[in-house]
A and B are shown apart, each in its own frame.
Chain A
Amino acid sequence: MTATLAIGSGPKAHRPRSLTVATTFISAGVVALVMALMTAYFVSRSAFSGKTKWIPTELHIRQVVLTMQTITLCMSCVTILWAGWAIRRNDRRSTYIALGTTFLLGLAHINALAFLIKQFGVGVASSVPATYLYIFAGLDLVITIGALLYLGAVAVRTLGGNYGGLDAEGIDAATIFWFVSVLIWVAIWALVLVGK
C-alpha cells in the first residue's frame, strides 16, 4: 500500500535574508567609494583654470563604444530581472538562459572597456584627467568582474538546486549588485565620459 503525504499550508518558512543584507551593505560601500572618487574628480576639475580643455585633445574617448556599452548594460538589467522572474516560476531553463545572457553581456562590457582603455592613447601620468579616467575605467572593470563572479557563483548554486521558486534569494542579491554595477557605469558614462 502506498502512503500519501499531505503537504500542509502552514506559515511561510522564516528565511534569514543574510545574502541580501550583506550585498546591500557591500553595494553601499561600493557606491561610497565611487562617490568619493567622483567628488575628488569634480573638485580637481573645478580647480582647473587652464586655457586648454579639461580633457586634453590627445586623450581619445570613443563615444560610439561608450554608447554601445551603456546599451549593453541596460539590456543586461532586463535579462537579470528575467532570471529572477523565471526562477520564481521554477522555470529553470529560462533561468539558465537569462543568467547566461547576462553573463555574456557583462563580458561584452569588459571587452569594450578594455578596448576603450587601449584607445585612450595617452599614458596614465600624462595629465590629471587622464589619471582619473584610468582610475574610473579600472574601478569599473574591477566592479564588473566582481559582479560577474557573484553572478557566476549564483548560477552554479542555481544549477546545483540551491535556488528555486520558494527561495530565490541568491539571484535577488546578485541582481542588487548587478544593478549597482550598471548604475555606477551609467554615472561614470554620463558625468565623466560624456559630460567631460
Chain B
Amino acid sequence: MAAAVDFGAPTVDPITGLGAWLSTADHKKVGRIYVAFSLLMALVAFATNALFSLERVDAGGKVLLNASEASQITSLFLDSTVFLAILPLWLGIALVIVPLQVGSRTLAFPRAAAASAWLFILSVLMVVGSYAANGGPAGGRSKYIDLYYIGMFGVVLALIVGVVCVATTALTLRAPGVTIARIPAFSFASVVTAAVLVLTLPVMLGNIVMAFMNHRYGGVFGAEGGTTFDWMFRQPQVYVLAIPVVGFAAEVVPVFARARQRMRGAVRFSIAGVGVLGIGAWAQSSLSIESNIRNGVTFIGVSILIGLPVVVGLGAFGDTLRAGGKPVVSPPLAAGLGAMVLLLAGVGAGLVTGFKGLELVDTTWELGQMKLVIGASSLGAIGALYYWAPKIWGKAISKNIGLAAIGLTVIGTLISAIPDLITGVLDQPTYAIDYAVRNGQELLNGISFAGEAITVLGGLILLLSVLSAMKSNTAVADNPWNGHTLEWATSSPPIATNFGTLPVVVSAEPVLDQSDALASTTSMGA
C-alpha cells in the first residue's frame, strides 16, 4: 500500500513582480500565461469569424471587405481559433492541472515549458502583426508573408514543446500509488492529445516549410504552395480539439453526480478512440495521390467510426449520472454535458460529409460541422476554466455568469452552425463570400452571423467574469466541488511545491477515499 508523501515546507520565490513572471519555472504561472494569452486570442478568433459571417450575408460580397481582405480574415479566423486560442487554452489548463492531478510537485522540464510560453507569445505577435501589415498566407506584402510563416512555425513548435512537457509529467512524475490505470481522465486525455499532436503538428511544420520555400522561391511547388493547412481545421484532425472535452466531462460528471465514475474502461476507450481516429495528417491532398482524398473509403470509414467512442463516452457518463441519483446542477456539469452533445452533433454532421452522392465536401456543411466541434471544445474549455478556477487563479467565477457564458456559447454555436449545414446542402462553397443565391441563403447566412455574435457575447462575458474574479478578495475553499482527484487535496491556489502532504493513493479517487474514510470514522465514533 502506498504511503502518504510529505513534500516538506514550500520554498519562497525570491524574485517578485514582472521578473517573477519572466523567469518563472512554476508550471502554474506558465499555464496562466498560456490561458491569459489564448483567451485574448479567442476574442480575435470570435471577432474575425463574426466579421466573415457578416460578409457572407450579402451574396455579392464586399460589404466591408474586398475579396483579398475576406480571404485574409478567413485565414486569420481559422489560425486564431485552432492554433492561437483553443489548443493553447487547453495546453494552459493542462500545464496547471496535470501535475496537480498526478501528485507531482513540479512539471517535467519546467524551463522548457516556460520557454514554449514565451516563444508562443512572440510567435503569435508575429502572426497577428503579419496579418495587420497585409501579410498572412495570401497577403500582398512579401516580407510579411514570410513573417507569417515564421510566426506559425514558432506557434506550432511552442505547442509541441508544451504538450511534450505535459505528457512527460503525466507518464513519469506520478506520485506513489498513482498508477497509469489511476491517472485521472483529464490527465489521460492530455497524454492522448499530446501523442496525437506530436504525430500531427510536425506534419504541419513540414507544410509550413514547403509553403515558405514556395513563397521565397517563386512558387516552385505550384499555386497552392504544394500544400495547404486546411486539413488542420477539417475532420478528422479537428477532433483532436475534442479529446480534452471528453476528459473534462469525465472529470465533472462523477463529481456532480456524487458517484464514482462508472465504466472507467469505456471512458478510456472513448478518449483514446477519439484520439486515434482524430489523427488527420494523412487527409490532405498534398500527401495523397488520390484526386480527392476526402471522398475516399478511409475518410468515410473514419468519419463513421469516430461516432463510436463519442457514443460510448456519453453512455458511460449517463450510467454514472444514473448511479449517482439527482446530480448537482452547476456550470461545469452543464458545460461538460453540453460540450459532449455538441460534439455528438458535430460527429453526426461529419458522418455524412464524405458520401459522394450528397456532395457536401467543400461546402459550408463542412464549416458548420467544424463550428460544432470547435463549439464543443470552446464550451469544454469554458467549463474547465470555471471548474478549475480555484486551482488556476485561486478564485471562483460567479455561478450565474458561468451559466450565462455557457448558455450563450451553446445557443450561439447552434444558431451559427445549423444555417451553415443547410446552406451546405444548397451547395454554398465553404469560405466564399461571393456566391450564387439559392433558396434564402442570405437569410440563413444572416442567422449564422447572429449566432456568431451571440458566441462573441458569451466569450466576452466569460472574460469579464474572469477579470472580475481576479479582482475579488473572496477566499475560495480548497475543494469547493467535493472533487475526487488529487488537485483538490491542496490549497486554492496551490502552494509553490503544489502539496504539503499527499493523501495515500489506493484508487483513482484518492480525495473521495479520504472523505469517505473520514465520514466512516465519524459515524463509528458517533
A interface list, Cβ under 8 A from B: 16-18, 21-22, 25-26, 28-30, 32-33, 35-37, 39-40, 43-44, 46-47, 124-125, 127-128, 131, 134-135, 139
Contact = CB atoms under 8 A, between A and B. Distances in A.
Contacts of A40: 206, 210, 226-227, 286-287
B210 A21 contact: no
Nearest to A27: B198
B54 interface: no
B213 A135 contact: yes
A139 B202 CA distance: 12
Nearest to B200: A32
Nearest to B281: A36
Contacts of A21: 108, 167-168, 171-172
Interface of B: 108-109, 160, 164-165, 167-169, 171-173, 194-195, 198-203, 205-207, 209-210, 213, 217-218, 220-221, 226-227, 281, 286-289
Contact of A33 (B165, B194, B205): B205
The 6 closest A-B pairs by CB, nearest first: A125-B217, A33-B202, A36-B206, A36-B203, A16-B172, A32-B202
A128 B289 contact: no
A29 B198 contact: yes
27 contacts: A16-B108, A16-B173, A17-B172, A18-B169, A21-B171, A22-B164, A22-B165, A25-B168, A26-B160, A28-B198, A32-B199, A32-B200, A32-B202, A32-B281, A36-B206, A36-B281, A37-B206, A37-B209, A40-B210, A40-B286, A43-B288, A44-B226, A125-B218, A128-B220, A135-B209, A135-B210, A135-B213
Nearest to A44: B226
A40 B227 CA distance: 9
Given A18-B172, A25-B194, A29-B160, 4 more contacts: A26-B198, A32-B200, A40-B286, A125-B218
A43 B487 CA distance: 48
B226 A29 contact: no
Contacts of A43: 286-289
A96 B205 CA distance: 35
Chain B CB within 10 Å, residue with most, of A26, A39, A124 = A39
Output the residue of B194, B201, B210, B289 with the most chain A CB within 10 A. Answer: B210
A32 B172 contact: no
Nearest to A15: B172
A47 B202 CA distance: 24
Contact of B289 (A47, A125, A134): A47
A135 B171 CA distance: 34
A82 B157 CA distance: 33
A22 B108 contact: yes
A40 B287 CA distance: 5
Contacts of B220: 125, 127-128, 131
Nearest to B206: A36
Given A128-B221, A131-B220, A32 B168 contact: no
Q: Which of A25, A30, A35, A135 has the most chain B CB atoms closer than 10 A to its own CB?
A: A25
